[in-house]
Amino acid sequence: MASLGEPFIVGDLMVPNRIVMAPMTRTASPGGVPGPDVAEYYARRAANMVGLIITEGTYVNRAAAGAYENVPHFHGERALAGWAHVLRRVHEAGGRIIPQLWHTGVVRTATDPPAEGPSGLGLDGAPAGKAMTQQDIDETVAAFAEAAAAAERLGFDGVELHGAHGYLIDSFLWKSINRRADHYGGDPASRARFGADIVRAVRAAVSPGFPVFFRLSQWKLNAYEARIAENPDELAQMLSPLADAGVDVFHASTRRYWLPEFDGSALNLAGWVRKLSGKATVTVGSIGLDNQYGEGEFTQGFTRQAGVTGIDELVARLERDEFDLVALGRTLLANPDWAALALRGELARSVPYDPAVLTTLA
């Protein structure tokens, strides 16, 4: 497991190993304020040698950003004070941590204010919410930049922008629901402009060495065969403006890390993104667990038990430089000490995933 234990450097951030905690919404922050239990939940993973923690999605300061109750905010005095305590505990435990900044976009079902997206269409293509005006876009871009500046001010080690799974930034990337006729719609590079504007504003709001991660995916909530890019050329067109705007690391979300992304190559999505963008990447998707849930239902992965599997293929791909970091979700819920076990060569002691772990912040 030596390759997993190698340090990784991006900007001013030195991650002591290649193991990342993936962002997972836990809805355990009443009123949007993360409490001491949230702090200990993250600190427990940091103390067990997780190299980098990416927090659950946190809402930026935009009225339409939220879709779910008890999700933490990344704005306001009380919420930021809560995050300051989380940060302090993680750093005391020897970890590094970055918040994921989030606007849920067309997934929002509340009507006051309504959901907002590129074209007033939901993920199913039916009318939903409102199409964003230029003023809406400008204000949202500013909200992301404000949150990133707050993260650096508090002492976080970087930020991640949530540009995946059908949420706001991703909805602009997806041709199926981005029907705009202005410069935010059309070809892949134009559809990436909204995300690039956010990245550029974030980059301007933080210091040059403060790392900016960007999470992207092909699949969406309840649209698992969706694709923002049908081939490597389309993906390259989309990545270029994001990379030029200042993304340091792309976090490529897949459901199964071992599956090839395009015909004719064994590279997964993180591998293709790394090859095409020249930027470092994070891979994720059922690492360390078997995958018994069906092709059509991602949430079954969280509501059903999953057995333990080896990571030989993962390590081989890491050693071939297909990607730079590896993120785990369910595995780290079931095994807060998974990173320590992996780095000591003791993964035989890891336990299967049981959905009962979702009932507490263990």
pLDDT-derived band at 297, boundaries 50, 70, 90: low
**pLDDT per residue as tens digits for the range 61-74:** 999 999 999 999 99
SS3 of the chain: CHHHHCCEEECCEEECCCEEECCCCCCCCHHHCCCHHHHHHHHHHHHCCCCEEEEEEEECCCCCCCCCCCCCECCCHHHHHHHHHHHHHHHHCCCCEEEEEECCHHHCCCCCCCCEECCCECCCCCECCEECCHHHHHHHHHHHHHHHHHHHHHCCCCEEEEEEECCHHHHHHCCCCCCCCCCCCCCHHHHCHHHHHHHHHHHHHCCCCCCEEEEEEEEECCECCCCCCCCHHHHHHHHHHHHHHCCCEEEEECCCCCCCCCCCCCCCHHHHHHHHHCCEEEEECCCCECCCCCCCCCCHHHHCCECECCCHHHHHHHHCCCCCEEEECHHHHHCCCHHHHHHCCCHHHCCCECHHHHHCCC
Q: Which of 353, 300, 336 is nearest to 50 (CA)?
A: 336
pLDDT-derived band at 1, boundaries 50, 70, 90: confident
Mean of pLDDT over the chain: 95
pLDDT at 296 over 60: no
pLDDT at 79 over 90: yes
Task: Report how far residue 42's alpha carbon sits from residue 347's, in angstroms, rounded to the nearest whole number.
Answer: 21
pLDDT for the residue 295 = 52
pLDDT-derived band at 221, boundaries 50, 70, 90: confident
Pairing between strand 13-15 and 8-10? antiparallel
Residue 353 annotated to the active site: no
pLDDT for the residue 222 = 80
Q: Percent of the chain beyond pLDDT 90?
A: 93
pLDDT for the residue 304 = 80
pLDDT-derived band at 80, boundaries 50, 70, 90: very high
Catalytic entry in 59, 167, 184, 257:
167
Q: Percent of the chain beyond pLDDT 70?
A: 97
Are the C-beta atoms of 138 and 116 separated by less than 8 Å? Answer: no
pLDDT at 294 over 60: no
